[in-house]
Structure 1
Amino acid sequence: MVTFVGFPLGGLAAMLTVGRVDSVAAALTGGLITGAVLGTAQVLGLGRLMTNPAGWVAATAGGLAVGLGIGATAVGFATDLTSLMIEGAISGLAVGAAQAIVLRRPRHRLALAWPPYLAACWALAWALITIAGVQVDNQFTVFGAIGAVSVTAATLVLPFALARPAVRSAS
């Protein structure tokens, strides 16, 4: 659950550095900052299960920069429920795809499922905070505590999958 704090800390660092996500530059820079903080928190949470911590942090940062840049631009930087769910799905997909590159060696099947799974988790997280009445019109880089808890809980499958011995196919 230590990974939970990566979301609000990353979002706060980005907000203090670049402000609102109201331009491509702010989305790219804010996504990079948020992703770096989030990736670091995830590495700390995964501990020894993470075999490539630097790769994971870089993948999370780069994935969120690209995903937020594309997602926020695709919805015209809007903050209504549908727009944030689309932005979240695109951001989650990009983060998941980048992280899947790191996961592919130890867990090929998990790596294939990870991007669409994370896309769904992130879209749901944005929906939850919007419905809860969080001031999403502040154009944050990432969802708040309610979304962070939901994504953290939903992604608890990762440490369990990484802890299981890899199944080797006979070739």
Structure 2
Amino acid sequence: MNRPPPAFLRTWMLWTAGFLAFPIAGIAGNLTAGRVNDALAALLGGVVTGAVLGAGQVLVSRRRLDPRTWIPATAIGMGLGLLLGATTVDYGTTLGDLALMGTLTGAVLGPAQTLALSAKTHQRWAWAAALPILWALGWTVTTLGGISVENQFTIYGAYGAITFAALSGLLLHHLLPYRAEAGPTPTQPRIATEV
């Protein structure tokens, strides 16, 4: 008898598959602003990249993220974070530059997204604390994977995106566990009501 995977595993796998939003977001950002080689490109490219990424994350969140707050927060946080990170490293693309840029981007993006989470979210500030580390890790894995980071992308590539998605999915489950729609259990009969 084949049992479906537990709700946690299905939810985590869906969130992890959402790594595909990263390259799509990066393409959108680069088409809009070009290479991240000046402040305007960093800000504009970051905002567009963040908006697309935020929309992708909402789609794979199984209704745990509110698009009305998550998408704008991700766009603004990514734009300001990339501006801060890219200008701080003077638009450099060495491993150290990109790790620092990722840390700074995550330091702005994390609190922005955290504020978009419900105030009732269990330990929601853990998201803000984790994002600088996860964003730096994303850029590090991408750089070590041989991706042509010298093209000054707005966001890291698929290797980093998978790493980020898998690890952040564990954290998201801790903060916002997925709860299936409440309905009668197999042992509870449906009670008919008269209209």
User: Where does residue 97 of structure 2 map in the other structure?
Assistant: 83
Does the CA-based 8 Å contact 1:46-1:159 persist in structure 2? no
Q: Does 1:145 align with 2:168?
A: no
Q: Deviations over 1:5-62 (max 9, x none)?
A: 1110010011112110000000000000000000000000112222x21100000000
Selected match of 2:43 from 15, 23, 28: 28
Q: Does 1:123 align with 2:133?
A: no
Q: Does 1:94 align with 2:108?
A: yes
User: Where does residue 133 of structure 1 map in the other structure?
Assistant: 146
User: Where does residue 62 of structure 2 map in the other structure?
Assistant: 47
User: 1:107: Cα distance to partner?
Assistant: 1.3
User: Where does residue 67 of structure 1 map in the other structure?
Assistant: 81
Name the CA distance, whole Å, in 2 between partners of 1:6 and 1:145.
Answer: 9
User: Where does residue 8 of structure 2 map in the other structure?
Assistant: none
Does the CA-based 8 Å contact 1:71-1:86 persist in structure 2? yes
Aligned-pair Cα RMSD in Å: 1.4
Aligned length: 163
Query: What is the identity, as a one-letter code, of the residue corresponding to 1:117?
Result: A
Does the CA-based 8 Å contact 2:134-2:164 persist in structure 1? yes
Name the CA distance, whole Å, in 2 between partners of 1:2 and 1:107.
Answer: 23
User: Where does residue 30 of structure 2 map in the other structure?
Assistant: 15
Name the CA distance, whole Å, in 2 between partners of 1:147 and 1:36.
Answer: 19
Name the CA distance, whole Å, in 2 between partners of 1:137 and 1:22.
Answer: 10
User: 1:116: Cα distance to partner?
Assistant: 2.2
Identical positions, percent: 42
Query: What is the identity, as a one-letter code, of the residue corresponding to 1:115?
Result: A
User: 1:147: Cα distance to partner?
Assistant: 0.4
Q: Does 1:156 align with 2:163?
A: no
Consecutive aligned runs of 4 or more in structure 1 exceeding 2 Å deviation: none
Query: What is the identity, as a one-letter code, of the residue corresponding to 1:72?
Result: A
Name the CA distance, whole Å, in 2 between partners of 1:40 and 1:30.
Answer: 16
Name the CA distance, whole Å, in 1 between partners of 2:17 and 2:142.
Answer: 20
Bigger-Rg structure (1/2) = 2
For 2:61, what is the secondary structure of its paired residue? helix
Q: Deviations over 1:88-147 (max 9, x none)?
A: 0111121111011012512151x2111220110110111111111111000000000000
For 2:37, what is the secondary structure of its paired residue? coil
User: 1:164: Cα distance to partner?
Assistant: 6.3
TM-score by length of 1: 0.90
User: Which structure shows the higher helix fraction?
Assistant: 1
